[in-house]
Structure 1
Amino acid sequence: MTRKLLILFFLGFGFYYVFFFDSIDASLKMVFKLIPMLLLIGLAFSTKVPIKAPYYWLISIGLIFCAIGDYTLQWFIIGLSFFLIGHVFYIFAFQSTNVSTTPTYVKILLVAYGLFMLVWVAGSVFKSGDTILAVAVVAYMSVILMMGWTSFRTGSSLAIAGALLFIASDSILAINKFMFPVAYSHELIMSTYYGAQFLFMLSITQYFKIVQKPK
Structure 2
Amino acid sequence: MTKPLNVLKCVGPKLVPFFKTVAIYFVLYGSSESTSILFCIAKCLPVISLVFFVLLHGMSLNEYYRYSRLILTGLFFSVLGDVFLVWKKSYMNFECGLLMFAVAQVNYARAFGFWPFNPYAGGVFVGLGLLVYSYLSPGLHGMMEILAPMYLGLICIMGWRAVARVQFFDDLWTWTKLCGCAGAICFMISDLLIAVDKFVVDVPFSHQLIMVSYYAAQLLISLSVVDSQVEDIIRLQTKHDNPDVIDNAKRHVKSLSHHLNKENVKYQLEHLSTTVDNVKENLSHRVDYVKENLSHRVDSVKENLSHRVDSVKENLSHGVDCVKENLSHRVDYVKENLSQGVDTVKDRIGHLSDQITVSNVKGQLGQLGGHISNHFAGQKRD
Give TM-score, length-normalised by structure 2: 0.49
Provide the residue aligned with 1:72 in structure 2: 84
> For the residues of structure 1 that align with 2:45 and 2:128, how far apart are their CA atoms?
32
8 Å CA contact retained: 1:10, 1:39 = yes
- 1:188 shift after superposition: 0.7
Equivalent in 138, 154, 157 of residue 143 of structure 1: 154
Secondary structure at the counterpart of residue 77 of structure 1: helix
Provide the residue aligned with 2:68 in structure 1: 56
Q: CA offsets, 1:138-164, max 9 Å, x none?
A: 111010000001113443101111101
> For the residues of structure 1 that align with 2:55 and 2:119, how far apart are their CA atoms?
31
8 Å CA contact retained: 2:33, 2:207 = no
Secondary structure at the counterpart of residue 131 of structure 1: coil
Task: Report the number of matched residues.
Answer: 206
Equivalent in 5, 17, 32 of residue 42 of structure 2: 32
Specify which structure has the bigger relative contact order, considering alpha-carbon pairs within 8 angstroms and separated by 6 or more residues.
Answer: 1
The answer to whether 1:125 aligns with 2:135 is: no
Amino acid at match of 1:67: V
The answer to whether 1:86 aligns with 2:100 is: no
8 Å CA contact retained: 2:32, 2:207 = no
Unaligned runs of 5+ in 2: 1-9, 88-92, 167-176, 235-382
> For the residues of structure 2 that align with 1:41 and 1:169, how far apart are their CA atoms?
20
The answer to whether 1:200 aligns with 2:200 is: no
> For the residues of structure 2 that align with 1:4 and 1:35, how far apart are their CA atoms?
18
Cα pair distance change 1:133/1:161, threshold 3 Å: same
- Higher mean alpha-carbon deviation, 182-191 vs 41-50, is at 41-50
Cα pair distance change 1:208/1:103, threshold 3 Å: farther
Q: Which contiguous aligned blocks of 4+ residues in structure 1 show a shift greater than 6 angstroms?
A: none
- 1:9 shift after superposition: 1.9
The answer to whether 1:13 aligns with 2:16 is: no
Give TM-score, length-normalised by structure 1: 0.84
> For the residues of structure 1 that align with 2:232 and 2:107, how far apart are their CA atoms?
20
Q: CA offsets, 1:54-91, max 9 Å, x none?
A: 11110111100011110012210011111101111111
Unaligned runs of 5+ in 1: none
8 Å CA contact retained: 1:6, 1:43 = yes
> For the residues of structure 2 that align with 1:30 and 1:205, how far apart are their CA atoms?
28
Secondary structure at the counterpart of residue 65 of structure 1: helix
Q: CA offsets, 1:158-208, max 9 Å, x none?
A: 111110110010001100111111111111111111111111111011434
Q: CA offsets, 1:28-65, max 9 Å, x none?
A: 11110011111011111111479742111101111000
> For the residues of structure 1 that align with 2:24 and 2:204, how far apart are their CA atoms?
19
Equivalent in 49, 54, 57 of residue 44 of structure 1: 54
- 1:101 shift after superposition: 4.6
8 Å CA contact retained: 1:166, 1:196 = yes
- Higher mean alpha-carbon deviation, 49-58 vs 37-46, is at 49-58
> For the residues of structure 2 that align with 1:171 and 1:19, how far apart are their CA atoms?
25
Percent identical residues:
27
Structure showing greater radius of gyration is: 2
